Structure 1
């Protein structure tokens, strides 16, 4: 746009200068005029320069305005970006202070405080067996990759109240908690290919479907509708539980 404005000014100046001979040729002969041809040219040239100067000043004002607008836009964008970075840094600091970024074992009595403090929690109910050790390996990796979510483990056999309350039957079971509510479960390896050779990425995708982690994969755009009824961890329930190998 700036180049077009400069080009328009140049064209205007060229046209204006070309007016001089036309105007002078249309004037009466020197003998019938009080001013000779040189005086007429000087007046016309002065007028042309005045008009050209006014046009140039106007263009300079517009260019300055455009430059100022561009700088303002860049400054506004920079300010927004800085604010976003500041907010993210504050969130990361808070997450780390809550224990995010690590795969941590907690006791039954600490569970309720943990899920109230963090918006997203993946809690592994385990026992000392091979399948649970496999799950441990993948969760330890994901805990470091997804600092936005807290990754916990609880020994099911040492937490009878909680396993009964949440109806934990098969081990390993992952309770996927959002905003202090158990939204979904990953029970055993059935949803992970039915084998202990599933990849960390497969588990990550499954957690992404439940929207308990920030997942940029295709699966995260189609949240999984769990058939399990949502239950608040604050709600009291009466049920029976048993563990399987």
Structure 2
């Protein structure tokens, strides 16, 4: 009987020891789970705070960009952008000074030049980044000779105070006088004179015989 009692006590001790170990294990697992959960909470909190900081930073950057853009627009308007103006030969270099992009239309009083006027007037209001001016070629002998203007209309495309390209007559615009404003705009985009826009999708010219402008506008 004593042996049975001893055996029973040993079994009880083993059970208790096992229970203690189990409880300790469960406690450790719970602590680990709590630690992981707390770490996740801390990380989520940190990420949430970082997100707010990023949003604030983006808002600040966007606001600064808008202010800078508005300041630039005001500067462009002050310098005569946003309108299509006539200038005299003696004013040309002052108009060009400090300009990143400028279009100068060398014209005479005829129909082809009036067609070009119509399109340039539209583009000048849409592209504040570029200055648009016109100059009567017959009253500007020095510039027409220096820039070798021989056909009208001719657009001198000027970047950073240097003439980099020309649009001579209507040949590059379809060779007709009923081309779309978008066609001219895309040519100016290609010349790096105006900013690109998704609005510019060339349309087919109106039906009818194509009228060549070259012989009618030869300036020589």
| Shorter-chain TM-score range | 0.7 to 0.9
**1:67 Cα deviation from its structure 2 partner:** 1.7
2:188 is the counterpart of 1:207: yes
The superposition leaves residues 103-129 of structure 1 with CA deviations (integer Å, 9 ceiling, x where unpaired) of 011111111011113110000111111
2:104 and 2:146 map into 1 onto residues whose CA distance is 14
1:30 and 1:52 map into 2 onto residues whose CA distance is 32
Q: Which residue of 2 aligns with 1:95?
A: 76
Q: Which residue of 1 aligns with 2:207?
A: none
Give secondary structure in 2 for the equivalent of 1:147.
Answer: coil
Consecutive unaligned residues of structure 2, counting only runs of 5 or more, are 1-8, 201-216
1:193 and 1:44 map into 2 onto residues whose CA distance is 86
The answer to whether the Cα contact below 8 Å between 1:30 and 1:37 also exists between their aligned partners in 2 is: no
Task: Write out aligned runs for 1:1-245 (5 A).
Answer: 31-32=12-13, 45-216=26-197, 244=219
**TM (normalized to structure 1)?**
0.70
1:107 and 1:60 map into 2 onto residues whose CA distance is 72
- RMSD of aligned C-alpha atoms? 2.7
Give secondary structure in 1 for the equivalent of 2:122.
Answer: helix
**1:65 Cα deviation from its structure 2 partner:** 2.0
Give secondary structure in 1 for the equivalent of 2:165.
Answer: strand
Q: Where has structure 1 moved over 6 Å in runs of 4 or more? A: 36-41
1:29 and 1:214 map into 2 onto residues whose CA distance is 91
**1:136 Cα deviation from its structure 2 partner:** 0.4
1:63 and 1:91 map into 2 onto residues whose CA distance is 41
Call closer, same or farther: CA 1:30–1:200 in 2, change over 3 Å: same
The answer to whether the Cα contact below 8 Å between 1:99 and 1:150 also exists between their aligned partners in 2 is: yes
1:181 and 1:31 map into 2 onto residues whose CA distance is 101
Q: Which residue of 2 aligns with 1:12?
A: none
Call closer, same or farther: CA 1:130–1:29 in 2, change over 3 Å: farther
